[in-house]
Structure 1
Amino acid sequence: MKNLESKDNILYNIFILNSIAIILVILGHSGCIYAGKWDYKVFYNSSIIIKFITDYIYSFHMPLFVFISGYLYCCEKNGKIRIF
């Protein structure tokens, strides 16, 4: 029986999740202008959908990115990837 959750597979999944977190950080910061989170005002910022999506992304995007980056940092020891 093959072990489906090998160390390489887990690490690959974490790198995919890290890439998704990076994209969410970019999308969250891009939508800040339209959600009214910054002092910069846009003339046509009446999109409730963009505000909702930005607020939803803002609820978890930075903690997710920091957690995954910290995990990947802790996995690397002496130039080799180590999974706990």
Structure 2
Amino acid sequence: MVAKYGDIRAQIAQIIADNLEGEETLEQLKENDDLTELEINSILFIKIIIGIENQFNIEFDDEALDYSKFVSMENLIYYVQEKL
């Protein structure tokens, strides 16, 4: 079964919000928001990636573990869609 964009988006938004510890963040997150503006540092980025891997039962390729490749939630959503 192919996961729908909206379902993936909701789950990734929740993972990001959980790591930023703010429900306000969850409601404000948009697909094309610049994640660097949310003050996501390298440690938070790895926590988010691990959360996504666990949630979707996927593994990010080593070359994909570059923060600059995922500057928006939309980039993360498309990557997860490709891996599913």
TM above 0.5, yes or no, is no
Bigger CA radius of gyration: 1
Shorter-chain TM range is: under 0.3
Q: Answer 1 or 2: higher relative contact order, Cα 8 Å, separation at least 6.
A: 2
